[in-house]
Chains A and B, each alone.
Chain A
Amino acid sequence: MELIMEQMPIVIRSLNIGFIQTLKLFFVTLAGALPLGLVIAFGSMSRFRPLKCLAQLGLPGWLTEFRPISCVTRIVVWIVRGTPLMIQLLIIYYFPGLVLNNPIWGGGESGRFLAASVAFIFNYACYFSEIYRGGIQSVPAGQEEAGLVLGMTRSQIFFKVTLLQMIKRIVPPMSNEIITLVKDTSLARIIALQEIIWAGQAFLKGSQGISGQIWPLFFTALYYLVFSGILTILLGRLEEKLNFFR
């Protein structure tokens, strides 16, 4: 116990540095994935049918009704959601140098962070997009029709009418994903991004004169717990705030 108290300041300093990386990755991912997810959601709902004009030629329905944008986005979402994030991190970080012989990310910390951000943003945007899609599609069609007959444009209808109703519906599933994201950031250690788990593990192996200590690793759980607690409260407040309408 005494030993732990002695090691505490060193460990805490180290974990704090790691946790800042964790937070950075968390917020950058959110900032990127929330809007990108919406774009992907619109992609997967796209009704763009370039072959529609060929319908007069008597071509079969599956061809004239073909929606390339929707098709491509849905397949991308399938691939991204269907493969482990850990593999995606490895591919995004090592692929350019390994196969294309052009290590665009570089070896430094900022390059690793950038690569991790790209992987996380893309991965989470795909998950978010499905939540958005569900949210948008659960807003009754009558809302859009009411907007249309009142002479509103489609973008006005989306931003003034649909959006807030969608947000209200997606807050609970989003909260789930966001809290998962807090913990998923630790996967970035596979490309040696030194987040808090890495920092905690370092003391197991030996770092700054402390070795063979597993408690710092367990101690990281406290950081996650406190942070997801704060997020839970904030998201709960948002949910309450949106309770003014039904």
Chain B
Amino acid sequence: MKKWIAVMLAGMMTAAALSGCGSTGNTAETEAPAEEADAAQADTSDVAEEDAAAEDSAAEESDMAYVQGKGTLVVGITDFAPMDYKDENGEWIGFDADMAKAFAESLGVEAEFVEIDWDNKILELDGKTIDCVWNGMTLTDDVLSAMECSNAYCNNAQVVIVPADVADQYQDEESLADLTFAVEAGSAGEEQVKALGLNYTPVTAQSDALMEVAAGTSDAAVIDSLMAAAMVGEGTGYEDLTYTIGLNSEEYGVGFRKGSDLAAALNDFFASSYADGTMESIAETYGVQAALIEQ
């Protein structure tokens, strides 16, 4: 993915340079130096290689040192109760947010929360505009291959959402065959319906999938159980919807840049805060203690 983007961008830069009606001099033709930032001057056709080189060097010089050097851990999130959401004062809170603050403190840096477009999370990480994705992220194969992930810290399941009045008809996997599903593109839910060979429409967010069911444009949706608990049923925006069976069980983790040493540091932090009970007490604050995974 990253390579592809790099190659594409390099192509565009080359086109731009060529169209510049004359070369501006290939200063970096001699050797591709591994120093960062200098790549700005580099011959664009080498950018893909440069990028790989830069990636290696970033790993060598340690992501933790980089984060500590700038004094902030930039945490990429979305508005996702109860993991990351804003209180009345506009302060980010939630199980993930509080843990991230504690982890940042343990590193001696400040946590800075940045709302991102979920589709661009890997781009944001690789582009160094954020340092980690900490937002109830399911550890799928795609995520594991694209990021350096922490140990799982929370259990989750993909659950089927249907209108409450027909819920009793869909209590097992066989009964789902005739339904049309709405699932978030690239989500763990999409993997599940694909594996079961069900009919589905990909939408841009889990919330959109809920909208589809509420509006009747899809029969059912598959979303995270934690989210379902917060958004569906009595006292929520979707009182007429409910969730039935879980399709699988899965786990949440935190994602860092590929090769980052912060993942290991977080595992240590998880272990110690689980041991002294702080992790559990934070989980209780947000009602997710039952899903917590032993560290």
Instruction: List A residues at the B interface (Cβ < 8 Å).
Output: 68, 71-72, 75-76, 79, 90-91, 93-103, 105-109, 111, 189-192, 194, 202, 204-208, 210-214
Cα distance A102–B37 in the bound complex, in angstroms:
5
Of A76, A98, A109, A202, the residue contacting B127 (CB under 8 A) is A98
Cα distance A194–B58 in the bound complex, in angstroms:
30
**19 more A-B contacts (CB under 8 A) besides A94-B127, A95-B9, A102-B36?**
A75-B21, A94-B123, A94-B124, A94-B126, A98-B9, A99-B47, A100-B37, A100-B39, A100-B40, A101-B37, A101-B51, A103-B127, A103-B128, A108-B112, A192-B116, A192-B124, A202-B79, A210-B237, A212-B231
Q: When the two chains form their complex, are residues A107 and B36 in contact, meaning their CB atoms are under 8 A apart?
A: no
Supposing A205-B207, A212-B210 touch, asked if A72 and B21 sit within 8 A by C-beta, the answer is yes
Report the count of interface residues on B (CB-CB < 8 A).
56
B170 contacts chain A at the CB level, 8 A cutoff: no
B76 contacts chain A at the CB level, 8 A cutoff: yes
Residues of A within 8 A of B208 (CB): 204-205
Within 8 A of A (CB), among B1-39: 2, 5-6, 9-10, 12, 15-16, 19-22, 36-37, 39
A-B contact pairs, 13 of them (CB 8 A): A71-B21, A90-B120, A94-B126, A95-B127, A97-B128, A101-B39, A103-B127, A107-B112, A192-B114, A202-B79, A205-B79, A206-B207, A207-B86
Residues of B within 8 A of A214 (CB): 211
Residues of A within 8 A of B124 (CB): 94, 107, 192
Nearest-CB residue, chain A, relative to B58? A101
Of B129, B205, B238, the residue contacting A103 (CB under 8 A) is B129
B81 contacts chain A at the CB level, 8 A cutoff: yes
Cα distance A108–B72 in the bound complex, in angstroms:
11
Residues of A within 8 A of B205 (CB): 204-205
Cα distance A206–B205 in the bound complex, in angstroms:
11
Residues of B within 8 A of A94 (CB): 5, 120, 123-124, 126-127, 129
Q: When the two chains form their complex, are residues A206 and B127 in contact, meaning their CB atoms are under 8 A apart?
A: no
Q: When the two chains form their complex, are residues B128 and A99 in contact, meaning their CB atoms are under 8 A apart?
A: no
Within 8 A of A (CB), among B102-131: 112, 114-117, 120, 123-124, 126-131
Q: When the two chains form their complex, are residues A189 and B22 in contact, meaning their CB atoms are under 8 A apart?
A: no
Supposing A189-B117, A206-B231, A207-B85 touch, asked if A98 and B211 sit within 8 A by C-beta, the answer is no
Of A75, A93, A108, A210, the residue contacting B114 (CB under 8 A) is A108
Residues of B within 8 A of A106 (CB): 74, 129
Q: When the two chains form their complex, are residues A91 and B12 in contact, meaning their CB atoms are under 8 A apart?
A: yes
Cα distance A142–B230 in the bound complex, in angstroms:
73
Q: When the two chains form their complex, are residues B129 and A105 in contact, meaning their CB atoms are under 8 A apart?
A: yes
B274 contacts chain A at the CB level, 8 A cutoff: no
Cα distance A108–B237 in the bound complex, in angstroms:
31
Nearest-CB residue, chain A, relative to B22? A68
B96 contacts chain A at the CB level, 8 A cutoff: no
